[in-house]
Structure 1
């Protein structure tokens, strides 16, 4: 006969109650106390520790069901009370597992599901969730903006789409819940005079290693690259002979991505100002720590984690020059509007920005005719 172990030897979360082995653990304010059909022997206790570990793992990933607990207790499906159907949390986990979005987007989906939808839907069979239930939940959540609601509906739609693909439901209940209309603001570029004032201040006030930030903004204003593209740019992407850059990567929160925001690689043609910026950055690189990246953070000596350090420099310049505050990203808008107002072919501008022509016209139509709009409105004042 196998010997029982002493209480001191029991694994974490395993105890003996009334000569039976019991496991216990807490997860997200839920307390689990499960008596197992195992003898209070060393073998039984070892098996209990393994079962506990498996259940905790499932609870962590949101896929622990009543069926799992019943099985641990040694009950059959007929013996246990199990809610019929696959639960919402199980389908949500499948959706996240098979979702082909990038890591950053997936993390956002996890946060949305956990905060907004799991508290009410996790243990509800997916087939029992209907449009009225979802409308009630949306009303209870009181989303502050239409954009927030739309963002939160995206992973929820994905969960129900996964359920359709698995033939768990016949139609997506969210088909009857439409996204709210969101007002899209026009780009807010710096004027050419504002841009020149900002660059002059940066040129005059940034010294030593901080000079990099002056050339950063020379490149930003005169190339139209996104910040995520700039901090991912490598020397291998520079074609010195043809005066171009190969834009095909991005860097977001320190994570290198082998694609741009729009998943569209492009050849960016350098002008005199952006070419000079690249040349000066090359000299800074040769004098400092050698790197494959064009832009290295002066404070860390490593590739930029994000665009916050250069953004703070431009904030200082705007404050010093008494220029109305705008996001540093608007250097890209400035480049686009300068090209359009100077009469550059919109097809070329779209290619430089990595936009479709349709998107360019949608966003920048106001600037596509340069000062001709003023001439047209002036006709109203003539007799």
Structure 2
């Protein structure tokens, strides 16, 4: 601060710094220090002149003029690497120095914009440069994320399937995953699975095509989920053609309808020790209902006065559904003499509750799926000394017996819940022209003649 500069004293009069009494000089310095704050752009415009009280003022963008007790500095302010930087130049507030600082500020800003700025080249004595040159503590390296495995994708897909699919479908996929997919693929990174890996694995499976398709479906969908979530670039299943991988014998289903003839049906019914078992199995033989359908049958669906029963749903995997396996599955089935007799025999056991027609005789509760039925069925066939076939063959027996009696294939398809005759002719075609020897026709008619008297002549007569 020059000797000619005036400072307002405590008495309000101006005096030169060098000529002020000590008390007045001390008070003037205190007042000057109170004004040492930084001012925003334009604060001093028209109010203060250079050489006034200590402090800071702007002189254009990025330039601050700072005045101390004994010196003046010009500060350059700029943004670098997301931080506000301030560098002071020990220069008096002359026009030449201010112009120099302005040019320097411009060079700094331009260098930063061109990514060529080097801090120490512009401000070699800056504390910031020294801080930047200090060795930085090593940042611990994070372990790279573990790659997504096939098992994780399967878990994600099965959670979605549980919400969106029928319970029976979800249970099938869950069982397939536990049996076939997790043991083989659970720990493998999904991105490393190739079409070659899949082909080798598929060709090692010894089951039939239908089972292979069931095994592959949840894994294919899981891998597709990985593509959707950008975890995989492509689904390796897209290049898999199952028909080109399986040998002929594996592509062809070994399923054959194996119905019971009238001798076997009568032996099975006579071997039932409980009347409720006999009623249920006779009803199954004479309606062609699936096990899941007749264990869900309600008395309200029995229309004796109109000579039919209505299939209104099914009980599958612990869940009663008001839907059927196929769109045509919700249907009306004409009552036949054997089915009507079974319903009449069941009246004393369950009709009073007006609920389910058939229940488990042991627990008096709804049959819990077809497994308990399968166990009881096996015992009855052993007693009857009839070659074992699964309970679903009662449905095939119904279809084949109607065709042997002369029923129209399209009518049989509608009673089974099929939309057309394709499956009927492929599965039961050989029984369309099969003959009935001895008294077998009459014995079949005792079970399969319609209860509606107006339709007793449904089948053609063969003399």
TM-score (structure 1 length as normaliser) = 0.66
Q: Is the 8 A contact 1:232 1:250 kept in 2?
A: yes
Q: Is contact 2:300-2:354 (8 Å) kept? A: no
1:257 is matched with 321
Instruction: Give the match's secondary structure for 1:184.
Output: coil
Partner residue of 1:107 out of 171, 175, 186: 171
Contact kept in structure 1, 2:367 and 2:373, CA below 8 Å: no
Q: 1: CA distance between counterparts of 2:321 and 2:407? A: 31
CA distance in 2, matches of 1:305, 1:371: 39
Q: Describe the superposition over 1:103-142 as per-residue Cα deviations: whole angstroms up to 9, x where unpaired.
A: 2332332333344333554454434321122234446xx4
Match of 1:281 in 2: 346
1:334 positional shift: 0.7
Deviation at 1:166, TM superposition (A): 4.0
Aligned to 1:186: 256
Q: Deviations over 1:296-334 (max 9, x none)?
A: 211101111133454445434433443222222211111
For the pair 1:146 / 2:208, whether they are aligned, the reply is: yes
Q: Which residue of 1 aligns with 2:378?
A: 315
1:331 aligned to 394, 397, 410, which one? 394
Q: Secondary structure of 1:79's partner?
A: coil
The 1:253/1:80 distance shift into structure 2, 3 A limit, reads same
Counterpart of 1:197?
267
Which residue of structure 2 lines up, in the alignment, with residue 359 of structure 1? 423
1:226 is matched with: 290
- Report the number of matched residues: 286
CA distance in 2, matches of 1:219, 1:327: 16
Cα distance in 1 for partners of 2:145, 2:376 equals: 59
SS in 2 for 1:333: helix
What displacement does 1:228 show?
1.0
Q: Structure 1: which 5+ residue stretches go unaligned?
A: 1-75, 373-383
Q: Which runs of 5+ in 2 are unaligned?
A: 1-138, 437-463
C-alpha distance in structure 2 between counterparts of 1:294 and 1:225, whole Å: 13
CA pair 283-153 structure 1, distance change in 2 beyond 3 A: same
Cα RMSD for the two superposed structures: 2.9
Secondary structure of 2:310's counterpart equals: strand
Residues 1:159 and 2:222 aligned together? yes
Match of 2:407 in 1: 344
Seen in structure 2, the aligned counterparts of structure 1 residues 160 and 327 have a Cα distance that, compared at 3 Å, is same
- Within the alignment, does 1:88 sit opposite 2:150 as a pair? yes
CA–CA separation in structure 2 for the residues paired with 1:314 and 1:273: 19
1:296 to 328, 343, 359: 359
User: 1:8-51 CA distances to partner (integer Å, 9 max, x unpaired)?
Assistant: xxxxxxxxxxxxxxxxxxxxxxxxxxxxxxxxxxxxxxxxxxxx
In structure 2, C-alpha distance between the alignment counterparts of 1:195 and 1:259, rounded to whole Å = 30
User: How has the CA–CA distance of structure 1 residues 344 and 167 changed in structure 2, closer, same or farther, with 3 Å as cutoff?
Assistant: farther
- Alpha-carbon distance in 2 for matches of 1:220, 1:284: 18
Number of the residue aligned with 2:27: none
DSSP 3-state at the match of 2:333: strand
The match for 2:142 is 79
Query: Normalized against structure 2, the TM-score is what?
Result: 0.55
Larger Rg: 1 or 2?
2
Hey, what does 2:75 align to over in structure 1? none
Distance in 2, Cα, partners of 1:284 & 1:342: 33
Give 1:187 deviation, angstroms: 0.4
Change (3 A) 1:241 1:135: same
Match of 1:327, SS?
A: coil
Change (3 A) 1:88 1:77: farther
Whole-Å separation in 2 of the counterparts to 1:124 and 1:144: 23
Residues 319/128 of structure 1: CA separation in 2 closer, same or farther (3 Å cut): closer
Rounded Cα–Cα distance in structure 2 between residues aligned with 1:170 and 1:240: 61
Shift of 1:77: 12
Alpha-carbon separation, structure 1, partners of 2:141 and 2:422: 60
